[in-house]
Structure 1
Amino acid sequence: MYFRVFLWFLCLPLGVLGQGQPVSGTILDDRLEPIPLAHVRLRSTQWGTATDTLGRFRLEGIAPGSYQLTVSALGYRPHVQRITLGQAPLQLPPVSLEPDVERLNETVVTGTMKAVKRTETPVPVEVYSPTFFKRNPTPNLFEGLQNVNGVRPQINCNVCNTGDIHINGLEGPYTLVLIDGMPIVSGLGTVYGLSGIPNSLVEQIEIVKGPASSLYGSEAVGGLINIITKSALSAPKFFADAMGSSWGEYNLDAGGKVPIGPKTDLLLGLNYFNYDQPADRNGDNFTDVTLQERISVFQKWNFRRPDARVFQLAGRLFYEDRWGGEMQWTPAFRGGDQVYGESIYTRRWEVLGRYQLPVDEPLMLAVSYNDHHQNSVYGNIPYLADQRIGFAQLTWDKSAGRHDLLAGAALRYNYYDDNTPATASTTGNAPDQFLLPGIFLQDEWGFTEGHSLLGGLRFDHHPRHGGILTPRLAYRWKPSESDILRFNAGTGFRVVNLFTEDHAALTGAREVIISETLEPERSWNANLNYLKKIYTRGGHFLGLDASVFYTYFTNAILPDYDSDPNEIRYRNLDGHAISKGVSANLDLALAGGFKAMVGATLQEVTQTRDGVRSQQILTERFTSTWSLSYDIRALRLTVDYTGNLYGPMRLPLLGNLDPRREYSPTWSIQNIQLTYKATGGWEVYGGVKNLLDWTPNRGNPFIIARANDPFDREVTFDAQGNAVATADNPYALTFDPSYVYGPNQGIRGFLGVRYRLD
């Protein structure tokens, strides 16, 4: 034994001399700039180092053999490659890392109206990059949000397929949608504001769950979605994305950066969508999916000014022609009572801008204006509406010691006119128009290391409702670099215009009853959020984002479908409504190319009316979303598996005899996609949507009530106007397309191609 040990010591120096070969190389970003402090190591060995300021690394004394070289850097996707070391030094070709926006310490602006790192803001803000939405490509952001935990696009009509966005189970009117921080989308524009913006023009999407009226005023009651578009300075020179599906849908996004002069850049984007093949897979003689032709043109100008002051101007033109109805409908039947159809012509334009005043103090002026015209018919009932919303806001942003101050004044102009009783008076037509001025103040105080406290207060004055005060409080504690605990509490308010928000009220299937003068809705909210991020030496990442939320509403205005099946009755709730629950997101990224984002929300949304507590209609008790991705780097191929799961929700029935389910089943939509990244900026992608071929007609005798008699010609009514059961109408129903909780579009394949020139 001693002889063996002696021989081992004799051979050891020879072995060391034989394995003294170095491995060296350079780590670059996607723009071929060096990445300092990137971690470079040989997997399953003790060899590792970090790059210098020029992105260079060198590993010494490595034995000949085959190894896995891993490279990781904060904000970039991990890189893994196989290397073989012989008897000579190995000089690797430069390694270029791909940026990973979702793993950066993102800069957000939505929570506090100030650009700040996501980990430093007391207000929890969820950030989603264009890469996230490419995993399940959709022709508009409205559909793309279905993969965000706690956010659900809700289709409100089986025929016209208009919809809104639910956050934590709250109805769409409680969600404020912004573009570049400006609240230009509201009322009529929710679904349209989320359509027609090319994915390639989006820098990121920020989502705040919970009231934000102390900064953004009316409508930011349940949460807000801020679509932040790219700067003309950082956008690609040219991009194009074309996609088609086996259902005959075609979508095209195209655009790029256009240099106008030495001090001016233009960002231009075009979106075109077409679907013109009527389909009736459920056999009710109604189109399963609304036919659409949509075109949208987006421009964003960036002007260079002295001292790097901001001056941006953006605009969008939007036109859409959509219709749904009986399969034999043509435009010749529009507005008539022979063949039922719902046809909507929408024309909309928007402008918004930001201008930093040329003074020493940091003063920023932001303005927006949108004009929305809608020409619609629901069967033989016309709905003609015009909406104009103007918004101006001046903010002052100043730091003083440990205090970070924000003050501002805002003015909103609202004009709405239609051909319904909503704008009628005893003297004739009376468009609804008002000015809503407001002022706000916010102070974020970093009173000690790792602790900050934010307080905010806003005062708005409505000409009909008087002064409205909305306070806000937020606390952030950062016990370590990877842990953050936040507590938020605040209030929200909303001034309501029913006819711009509830398309169920426009179908003509039910009479709309407004029982009283409607007062503004108020909400009180509390939210506890915990964020955890873990980065490992091996290039792995694990993130946890969990929240507990509670919102209490007074004066809530909710549609009453239950009191009378022929009516939708609106009034301020004599009682209260509550939304409460828990939500969690898990983000996992492995150096080998696997990534998972999984989220789940458990919630209870109830209303107590006249002492009776009930679940809110069209609100699920639980939801889950997931996105699983795997990069096969050797083949330049990415596999994405996405999906969502929704729990039961209460549905609007037409009476005790209605044979349709009172509650929806638990249902899921799942998708798979393959993406091949070719050279020269090209990508080819394709896959299958709705793998389970799920549609809401499963387990139901029908979805649209009395689809065979949409004008109620064969319905018998009693003296009170209620439908009576007859041999031809055994369930005492009237025509009603409002029983809808999910898309009618089944399984379909899709194929697309992208090109990007930087």
Structure 2
Amino acid sequence: MKLYISRIILGVFLLSTQLIFAQNFSKNQFKVKGNCEMCKERIESTAKKAGAKEARYSIDSQILTLETEDNISPDEILKKVAEAGHDNEKFKSLNENYESLPECCHYERNLQSSSVENHDHQSKKENEFYVKGNCESCKARIEKAAKDAGADSAEWNAEKQLVTLNFDSSKTSSNKILKKIAEVGHDNEKYKSKDNTYKNLPSCCLYDREIPFGEANPKVHFEEGEKSEHSDHNDHNSSDENNEKHIEGITVTGSKAATSLNKKEAGLVFNIDRKELLKAACCNLSESFETNATVDVSFSNAVTGTKQLKMLGLDQKYTSLTKELLPEIRGLASAYGLNFIPGRWIESIQLTKGGSTVTNGYESITGQINTEFLKNAEKPETSLNLFADFNGRAEANITSVSRIDDKWSQTFLLHGNGTFGDTDMNNDGFLDRPKGTQINAAYLLNYNDLEKSGFGSHFGINFIKDERTAGQIGFNKNIDQKEQSLYGVGIDISRFQVWNKTGYVFKGKPYQSLGWMNQYTFHQQDSFFGLRNYSGKQQTYYSNLVFESILGNTNHKYKAGASFMYDGYDETYLKDNFKRNEIVPGIFAEYTLTGLKYTLVAGGRADFHNLTGTQFTPRLNFKYDFTPQTILRLSAGRGFRTANVFAESQHYFASNRSIQILQNGGNIYGLKPEIAWNYGASLQQEFKILGRKSTIVADFFRTDFQDQVLVDLDRSPQQLTFYNLEGKSFANSFQTQWDFMPFKNFDVRLAYKYYDVQADYLAGRREIPFMAKHRGFVNLAYSTNKNKNGGFWSFDTTLNWVGKQRLPNTSSNPEEFQLPTHSESYAVLNAQISRNFNKKIRAYLGGENLTSYYQKNAIVDFKNPFGNYFDGGMVYAPIMKANFYVGLDVTF
């Protein structure tokens, strides 16, 4: 059925293409500034109103593609786009039009980039010209060059990036003066400096060089054969993410960084797009961070083979994991939820370190990871992905994104995977990863009529069926546990979600909007671990209403709203049943103050929890731009959550530890909620190396727990104990990361992380187990230039070095079942080679853990799985040797 629908979509597209080319239309591409889906809708609808037959805008490439009849001038269309608030390569929007855009539409505005004509004729006079520069040295150089070329006087304004010229037209000309200014290293609206001249400027003078797209502005001149420096910044990891412009016979290629730090956000927010995800296998969300230094990925146990994320030195449960800004991986989904978001479904990921905005809830303590599904396409597109590794795992993905009409679009997402081989690389008789299958299907429907009616809406529905079997090789899940001697694990999960997000932008007030999000989730798990049974059912309803507006002007913005969360839990462990309903209405408000060099975001929320009482959550983010290249960020905030001790600790169930809960008078398992404060500071510094952009980011975060549910593995190797913190618990995290490009098409990312994570257990203060103090990270990415068919090669490799980790105390075990106090350090190397044959076909080959380091004692007493000392939860390193995979991407 899915393939049948895809064929219909493809047929309609081919037919429409023939009809278009049968008419006398001209197609043009223009650079237009925009930032989000609202921008896309506004730009496209404005262009159509101005006479365009068809208009398609790409947020990633910042390119507007127009199809017009011969009697329609693209200039008139671009002029209307500028009037709507969007700078473009020919016209600059009035400041008041730009400021009236909603906050999410405020793109990074390089007023100095100017091959554009200023649409505000009153703010740019005849004797004023755009000239790029950075500091007082630039000012002196520009003014001297102008006078040397015959100007009677010249005054350059750094803020406006304008030079005001007075000269005798009988003796010289503006062209002659601007050409002289370019010759000393400063790009301007008519001439671009030679690369060597620019690179020889002092480091303080190296301004951001944006491509002067001269196709629509013949006033911009290049030296013959010269290319823009941006042609050296190709990122070929995705065949459809790059864009090319032809400037007077010169091809200039630009691209958006695969991972970028959002300079506009007050918080430390990293944007990860599809190009980054294609650097590795990325079969699901847990594998989406293998080339990212911020998130640590590790196996949680040696039996179920699941992976867990850690951020700022703390477990995944302290990070808010959302999908489309809706709560996603939490509660009963904590253990296996990362496997439920296929990598090929992901359009982008936004990763926030430290406290996030209060509008998204109260559970974020160490940060937020938000995943956006595929739902944007320049044209109807259906893609097929096939993947298989050499140890019996295979998967297939079909994604289809298409427009229904000018307002409606839809996305079909289908995923299936299966693991069929018996993998036992350490010869302990246990499967290194479970066998089983997953079917995952989703449908998304989008409505966008913001320009006319002010309404936009997004609807989604998702169903998942996941079954897996683990344990000793030969275990048969269909035979009752008590009738076979082998140790087995069976996990069956069913999950259903439906959600809607609707927004309204007030007419005549583009800065004022109202949004409402709703989601219902049903999650059921039936499982057994040896002779232990665990089952759980969770029903969740979430609603969030947000109103956004300004106080006087757009320098003072605010959000206010209300939320509601309902969680119904029904869990059974062994013979004990645990039921509870959490009902949490809440209110919140957030204020954003924007100055010339700073941004302050202050917010607070009050949540009225029926089991834990009223909780107040304040959060603060502050950003100060010392220069456009030097940015300081500070943050502080509080978060709280209720611990799901069984669901979140399932990776310890594959053992013979008995579970003990030391109740402390709370209403959830007899325990109190977890409350923590997080503080952070970061410094971002951009600079040039050999004329290429380079960025260093250093950050420090501290998390202090006011209340915490400790998971104590040290009281006894035969016991798993939960109790509330009495004393202190903290996590210090320091990270420094350097991104640079030593030569064309070669990207380097280096990082170092230090963690100090300790807690006061009942037996005294100790380091948290399975947390390395020191970690190192290297990522290298190289791609060849495209050939005439658009084909190229990409090479990616990532090295993770993990220092020693404290292991739980096993000294009371017999000597042969004791672990050392600390693990040894190790390194893991992953690599991938991919070949794009054209824009439609891509093949890739890769390897994981190429160093083949693995934990030889991953399971304690594996020969006697029903004995007292059996434990499959003592995992600190990979449990599989090198594994190789192949894949194919085909786009129709």
TM-score (norm 1): 0.82
Q: In 2, Cα distance between the equivalents of 1:605 and 1:355?
A: 41
The DSSP-based 3-state class of the residue aligned with 2:842 is strand
Q: In 2, Cα distance between the equivalents of 1:166 and 1:91?
A: 47
CA deviation profile, 1:397-456 (whole Å, cap 9, x unmatched): 1122231101111100001112227973xxxxx62112111111111122x421232211
The DSSP-based 3-state class of the residue aligned with 1:750 is strand
Counterparts in 2 of 1:189 and 1:367: CA distance versus 1, 3 Å: same
Residue 355 of structure 1 corresponds to: 502
TM-score (norm 2): 0.71
1:364 maps onto 2:515 in alignment:
yes
Residue 258 of structure 2 corresponds to: 102
2:473 alignment partner AA = M
CA deviation profile, 1:668-707 (whole Å, cap 9, x unmatched): 211222111212421111132211111111xxxx321221
Q: In 2, Cα distance between the equivalents of 1:190 and 1:133?
A: 22
RMSD: 3.1
Residue 753 of structure 1 corresponds to: 888
Counterparts in 2 of 1:634 and 1:467: CA distance versus 1, 3 Å: closer
CA deviation profile, 1:711-742 (whole Å, cap 9, x unmatched): 12xxxxxxxxxxxxxxxxxxxx5111111123
Superposition pairs of residues 257-336 of structure 1, within 5 angstroms: 257-261=401-405, 263-305=407-449, 306-336=452-482
Shift of 1:236: 5.6
CA contact 2:359–2:546 (8 Å) conserved in 1: no
Greater fraction of residues in strand: 1
Residue 703 of structure 1 corresponds to: 858
CA contact 1:257–1:268 (8 Å) conserved in 2: yes
The DSSP-based 3-state class of the residue aligned with 1:502 is helix
Q: In 2, Cα distance between the equivalents of 1:740 and 1:61?
A: 61
In the alignment, which of 587, 603, 612 is matched to residue 456 of structure 1? Answer: 603
2:258 alignment partner AA = E
Q: In 2, Cα distance between the equivalents of 1:609 and 1:60?
A: 68
Superposition pairs of residues 19-58 of structure 1, within 5 angstroms: 36=89, 44=196, 50-52=212-214, 54=216
1:543 maps onto 2:695 in alignment:
yes
1:404 maps onto 2:561 in alignment:
no
CA deviation profile, 1:327-375 (whole Å, cap 9, x unmatched): 1112233533521111111111122221125866521101112111111
Residue 230 of structure 2 corresponds to: 72
Residue 836 of structure 2 corresponds to: 677
Shift of 1:598: 2.0
Residue 743 of structure 1 corresponds to: 878
The DSSP-based 3-state class of the residue aligned with 1:283 is coil
Residue 583 of structure 1 corresponds to: 735
Residue 10 of structure 1 corresponds to: none
Residue 279 of structure 2 corresponds to: 135
Q: In 2, Cα distance between the equivalents of 1:213 and 1:498?
A: 26
Shift of 1:752: 1.3
The DSSP-based 3-state class of the residue aligned with 1:54 is coil
Counterparts in 2 of 1:311 and 1:61: CA distance versus 1, 3 Å: closer
1:493 maps onto 2:646 in alignment:
no
Counterparts in 2 of 1:469 and 1:300: CA distance versus 1, 3 Å: same
In the alignment, which of 840, 846, 849 is matched to residue 687 of structure 1? Answer: 846
The DSSP-based 3-state class of the residue aligned with 1:135 is coil
Q: In 2, Cα distance between the equivalents of 1:602 and 1:91?
A: 48
1:546 alignment partner AA = A
1:250 maps onto 2:402 in alignment:
no
Shift of 1:76: 6.5
Greater fraction of residues in helix: 2
Shift of 1:287: 0.8
1:406 alignment partner AA = K
CA contact 1:350–1:370 (8 Å) conserved in 2: yes
Residue 640 of structure 1 corresponds to: 796
Shift of 1:277: 0.4
1:592 maps onto 2:744 in alignment:
yes
Residue 783 of structure 2 corresponds to: 631
The DSSP-based 3-state class of the residue aligned with 1:652 is coil
Residue 433 of structure 1 corresponds to: 581
Q: In 1, Cα distance between the equivalents of 2:885 and 2:432?
A: 18
Q: In 2, Cα distance between the equivalents of 1:31 and 1:652?
A: 55
More moved, 646-655 vs 37-46: 37-46
More moved, 263-272 vs 480-489: 263-272
1:469 maps onto 2:631 in alignment:
no
CA contact 1:213–1:491 (8 Å) conserved in 2: no
Q: In 2, Cα distance between the equivalents of 1:633 and 1:191?
A: 42
CA deviation profile, 1:8-50 (whole Å, cap 9, x unmatched): xxxxxxxxxxxxxxxxxx9996979599569877765789994
More moved, 51-60 vs 688-697: 51-60
The DSSP-based 3-state class of the residue aligned with 1:696 is coil
Counterparts in 2 of 1:151 and 1:568: CA distance versus 1, 3 Å: same
Shift of 1:92: 7.3
Q: In 2, Cα distance between the equivalents of 1:744 and 1:576?
A: 33
CA contact 1:643–1:668 (8 Å) conserved in 2: yes
Counterparts in 2 of 1:68 and 1:325: CA distance versus 1, 3 Å: farther
Superposition pairs of residues 355-394 of structure 1, within 5 angstroms: 355-357=502-504, 362-394=513-545
Q: In 2, Cα distance between the equivalents of 1:505 and 1:744?
A: 16
CA deviation profile, 1:131-162 (whole Å, cap 9, x unmatched): 11211123112122233223123322211123
Residue 443 of structure 1 corresponds to: 591
Runs of 5+ in structure 1 lacking a partner?
1-25, 80-89, 107-117, 425-429, 713-732
Relative contact order: is structure 1 or structure 2 higher (C-alpha 8 Å, sep ≥ 6)? 1
In the alignment, which of 284, 297, 304 is matched to residue 153 of structure 1? Answer: 297
CA deviation profile, 1:552-597 (whole Å, cap 9, x unmatched): 1122111111112221111101111110121122211356111112
Counterparts in 2 of 1:406 and 1:535: CA distance versus 1, 3 Å: farther
Counterparts in 2 of 1:55 and 1:675: CA distance versus 1, 3 Å: farther
Runs of 5+ in structure 2 lacking a partner?
1-28, 32-60, 67-87, 90-113, 116-186, 200-208, 238-245, 664-669
The DSSP-based 3-state class of the residue aligned with 1:608 is strand
Residue 144 of structure 1 corresponds to: 288
Q: How many aligned residue pairs are there?
A: 675
CA contact 1:651–1:662 (8 Å) conserved in 2: yes
Shift of 1:519: 0.8
Shift of 1:238: 1.1
1:654 maps onto 2:807 in alignment:
no
1:130 alignment partner AA = R
CA contact 2:447–2:458 (8 Å) conserved in 1: yes
